[in-house]
């Protein structure tokens, strides 16, 4: 049936309605065209910004950390390029199978890896830091969009454990954490730069747009250390600690002329190239941070104070008989009766009673002035982090027994570096120089602490201490005259001195005719039967000093048959405080 036969089926719309709909459609199309013209022709900044926000990145340009080298430009710490795996979560496109393969390559939990990749709030995230090149290549071979390699630098230490305590180490971001890496952080770190790049959907850089800031690489730091002497010192120290079954040991080699530290080693050590399991007890530089009672190595300073004050002369006689020296409720002993001794013999035989009597004849202030003058009780200002100051109480509070015991190294604490520095006054004409861990380009300033006459007199006493009648015959060196002093101090445990735990030490210099090097050795808790400084520490000194002098081509000052050891049946010259 047609619409004409059924009028009710015919639909008639008003003509104005179709005109209105057509007009609205035309206006809508005109609006779209106008907007497109505005955005693409007149104001295209918006679209460019949106595009760049998805593909333009400002990336950091890592500054290369500065090298640390020894005095002869041998590398001690260098930065080597490595690759780290990173991701741009918003650009990552990864399937379940690829996720599992990537997790296995990175040795990560798949769920943890997925959590990092799903964090779209971050434009950049590390997945694994500092991979070997072959592992990084396998990750790239997966071809996962949004995952890429980031060039970084890993710190490498060619000398390993030999220099570990001195150089220290950095963290994974290349920031100094210990020792000189930390001390010189401002010089070594440099300043990172940045550049703007265009990346594709795989995270690869397709266009280098502009350099925002150029990186400034770190500076090279030249130390005073001589690597040859450092290896020698570490080797001999390690052997001695093992041979005497000691808890620890330390050694410092100091240049008399410049005050520069040529070697500094500690045992036990650690490998800074493998920091997976670091023991905090092994990382501290004991030679600078740890303090100990120096024992008899302080006796020459007491003698120097008396000589410089004009109270005694080297040949003045001190009576140590009939034996124990009683001061209040305390008793001072010598290991063996020594009778009447000259001041020189007090040092040579290391008499506690003789040294105490010399000290008690001085004003407390006189002794304190010398101890303070050589740097005891104040940090050595080497620039090393955490260096110890030691303990030296004000002289006004000293009791007689304290003045007596301090004269032979009890009741006062020092570091190895402090002790090495203090012995400069005997190796020179009474002058003291500041110590340095960096190579000096200009002479160090000096301070006169004692007179040249006093310095030469004590030097002769120290040379006698190394002869067969002294406590340190094993410190003698073929072809060189040696001067030095032993120390055998009991350790403090729970507020009192231990009966069987000792610190064995030796400080000396050579050639005695014109001193060039000072070497100080400390062996902590030797437990293999011997504990006297003359038998435990002095031989280490002899080996290191002999090798160092030859490496430096220092002329001999004695005949080649100068070493004379005591006869086998001769009584041992003992000391203990």
Say which CATH number the domain at 376 has: 3.40.710.10
Give the β-pairing of 147-156 and 125-131. Answer: unpaired
For residues 286 and 267, state if they share a domain: yes
| DSSP, res 39 | I
Residue after which a domain boundary falls, among 223, 248, 267: 223
- Domain that residue 177 falls in: 56-89+153-223
pLDDT tens-digit map of 158-217: 999 999 999 999 988 889 899 999 999 999 988 877 666 565 555 555 445 455 667 788
| Mean pLDDT value of segment 330-336 | 89
- Compute the C-alpha angle 279/280/282, nearest 5°: 70
Report the pLDDT value the prediction gives residue 83, as an integer from 0 to 100: 81
- The answer on 244 and 202 residing in a single domain is no
Paired tokens of 266 = 């500690």
Q: Which two tokens stand for residue 489?
A: 């101090």
Asked whether residue 96 is domain-assigned, the answer is no
Domain assignment of residue 2, yes or no: no
Q: What is the DSSP string of 152-203?
A: EEEEE-TTGGGSHHHH--B-TTS-B-SHHHHHTHHHHH-B-EEEEEEE-TTS
Q: Are residues 373 and 415 in the same domain?
A: yes
DSSP code for 421: H
pLDDT value of residue 55? 61
Last residue of a domain, one of 172, 207, 223: 223
Quick check: 218 and 188 in contact, CB under 8 A?
yes
- Point out which residues pair with 193 in neighbouring strands: 61
Q: 46: exposed, middle or buried (C-beta count within 10 Å: 0-12, 13-18, 19+)?
A: exposed
Q: 225 in helix, strand or coil?
A: coil
CB 490 within 8 A of CB 497: yes
Within-domain flag for 267: yes
State the Cα–Cα distance between residues 266 and 389, nearest whole angstrom. Answer: 19
Cα–Cα distances (Å) from 11 to 3, 6, 7, 433, 506, in that order, read 9, 11, 9, 115, 121
CA distance 449 to 451: 7
Write out the two tokens for 275.
């920091």
| Confidence at residue 43, expressed as pLDDT on a 0 to 100 scale | 61
Specify whether 419 is located in the same domain as 472: yes
- Domain annotation covers residue 528: yes
Same domain membership, residue 210 and residue 329: no
Q: What pLDDT is recorded for position 51?
A: 55
Is 211 within the bounds of a domain? yes
Give burial (CB, 10 Å; 0-12/13-18/19+) of 272. buried
Q: For position 46, what pLDDT does the model report?
A: 60
Catalytically annotated residues: 296
**CA 371 to CA 294: how far, in whole Å?**
13
User: Averaged over 212-223, what is the pLDDT?
Assistant: 85
For 339-349, how does the pLDDT look when each residue is reduced to its tens digit (9 = 90+)? Answer: 999 999 999 99
Task: Calculate mean pLDDT across residues 236-257.
Answer: 97
Say whether both 172 and 239 belong to one domain.
no
Say yes or no: 215 and 357 in one domain: no
398 and 426 fall within a common domain: yes
Tens digit of pLDDT for each residue in 35-47? 777 666 666 666 5
**CA pair distance 477, 480, nearest whole angstrom:** 6
| Strand (E) or helix (H) holding 171 | none
Q: Is residue 565 part of a domain?
A: no
Give the strand pairing for 261-267 and 125-131.
Answer: unpaired
What's the rounded Cα separation, in Å, for the pair 124 and 119? 10
**Claim to verify: residue 213 and residue 330 sit in the same structural domain:** no
Residue 61 lies in a domain: yes
Model confidence band, residue 93 (pLDDT cutoffs 50, 70, 90): confident
Number of neighbouring beta carbons within 10 Å of residue 467? 15
Contact 390, 291 (CB under 8 A): yes
Number of compact structural domains in the chain: 2
Out of 207, 223, 239, a domain closes at 223
Are 393 and 456 part of one and the same domain?
yes
pLDDT score, position 6: 63
C-alpha 517/C-alpha 145 separation (Å) is: 62
SS3 label, residue 305: helix
Are the C-beta atoms of residues 188 and 66 closer than 8 Å to each other?
yes
CA dist 442 → 226, 257, 258, 438, 445 (Å): 18, 12, 9, 12, 9
In a domain, 108, yes or no: no
pLDDT reading at 276 higher than 90: no
* Mean pLDDT (whole number) for 483-501: 90
- pLDDT score at 478: 97
Do residues 400 and 359 share a domain?
Answer: yes
Alpha helices by DSSP H, listed for 56-193, are 96-106, 110-117, 133-141, 164-167, 179-183, 185-189
How much is the pLDDT for 10?
59
Q: What is the mean pLDDT of residues 442-448?
A: 91
pLDDT confidence of residue 64? 85
- Whether the predicted pLDDT of 3 surpasses 60: no
- Residue 474 DSSP symbol: G
**Same-domain pairing of 540 and 446:** yes
**Domain CATH for 188:** 3.90.1310.10
Return mean pLDDT, the chain.
Answer: 87
Q: Is a pLDDT exceeding 90 seen at residue 20?
A: no
């Amino acid at each position: 049936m047609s619409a004409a036969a059924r009028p009710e089926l015919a639909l008639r719309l008003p003509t104005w309605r179709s005109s209105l709909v057509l007009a609205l459609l035309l206006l809508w199309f005109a609006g779209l065209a106008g907007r497109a013209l505005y955005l693409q022709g007149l104001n295209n900044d918006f679209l460019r910004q949106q595009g760049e926000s998805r593909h333009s990145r400002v990336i950091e340009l890592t500054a290369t950390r500065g090298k640390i080298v020894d005095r002869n430009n041998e590398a001690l710490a260098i930065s080597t390029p490595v690759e780290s795996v990173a991701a741009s979560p918003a650009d990552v496109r990864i399937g379940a199978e690829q996720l599992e393969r990537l997790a296995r390559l990175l040795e990560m939990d798949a769920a943890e890896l997925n959590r990092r990749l799903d964090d779209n709030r971050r434009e950049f995230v590390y997945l694994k830091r500092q991979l070997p090149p072959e592992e990084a290549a396998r990750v790239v071979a997966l071809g996962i969009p949004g995952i890429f390699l980031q060039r970084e630098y890993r710190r490498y230490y060619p000398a390993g454990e030999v220099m570990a305590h001195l150089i220290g180490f950095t963290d994974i971001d290349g920031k100094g954490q210990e020792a000189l890496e930390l001390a010189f952080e401002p010089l070594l770190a440099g300043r990172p730069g940045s550049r703007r790049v265009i990346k594709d959907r795989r995270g690869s850089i397709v266009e280098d747009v502009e350099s925002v800031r150029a990186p400034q690489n770190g500076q090279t730091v030249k130390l005073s250390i001589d690597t040859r002497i450092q290896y020698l010192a570490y080797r001999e120290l390690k052997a001695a600690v093992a041979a005497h079954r000691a808890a620890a040991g330390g050694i410092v080699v100091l240049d008399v002329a410049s005050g520069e530290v040529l070697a500094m080693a500690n045992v036990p050590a650690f490998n800074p190239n493998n920091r997976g399991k670091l023991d905090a007890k092994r990382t501290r530089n004991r030679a600078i941070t740890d303090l100990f009672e120096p024992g008899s190595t302080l006796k020459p300073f007491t003698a120097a104070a008396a000589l410089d004050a004009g109270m005694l002369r080297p040949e003045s006689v001190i009576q140590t008989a009939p034996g124990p020296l009683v001061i209040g409720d305390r008793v001072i002993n010598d290991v063996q009766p020594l009778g009447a001794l000259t001041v020189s013999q007090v040092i040579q035989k290391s008499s506690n009673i003789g040294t105490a009597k010399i000290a008690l004849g001085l004003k407390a202030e006189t002794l304190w002035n010398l101890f303070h003058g050589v740097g005891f009780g104040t940090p050595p200002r080497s620039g090393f982090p955490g260096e110890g100051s030691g303990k030296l109480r004000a002289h006004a509070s000293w009791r007689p027994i304290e003045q007596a015991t301090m004269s032979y190294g009890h009741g006062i604490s020092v570091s190895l570096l402090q002790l090495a520095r203090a012995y400069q006054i005997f190796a020179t004409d009474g002058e003291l120089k500041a110590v340095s861990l960096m190579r000096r380009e200009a002479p160090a300033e000096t301070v006169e602490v004692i007179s040249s006459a006093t310095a030469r007199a004590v030097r002769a006493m120290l040379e006698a201490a190394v002869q067969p009648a002294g406590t340190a015959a094993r410190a003698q060196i073929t072809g060189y005259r040696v001067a030095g002093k032993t120390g055998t101090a009991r350790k403090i445990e729970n507020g009192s001195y231990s009966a069987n735990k000792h610190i064995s030490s030796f400080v000396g210099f050579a050639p005695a005719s014109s001193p060039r090097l000072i070497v100080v050795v400390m062996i902590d808790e030797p437990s293999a039967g011997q504990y006297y400084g003359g038998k435990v520490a002095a031989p280490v000194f002899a080996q290191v000093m002999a090798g160092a002098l030859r490496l430096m081509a220092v002329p001999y000052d004695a005949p080649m048959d100068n070493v004379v050891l005591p006869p086998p049946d001769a009584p041992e010259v003992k000391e203990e405080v």
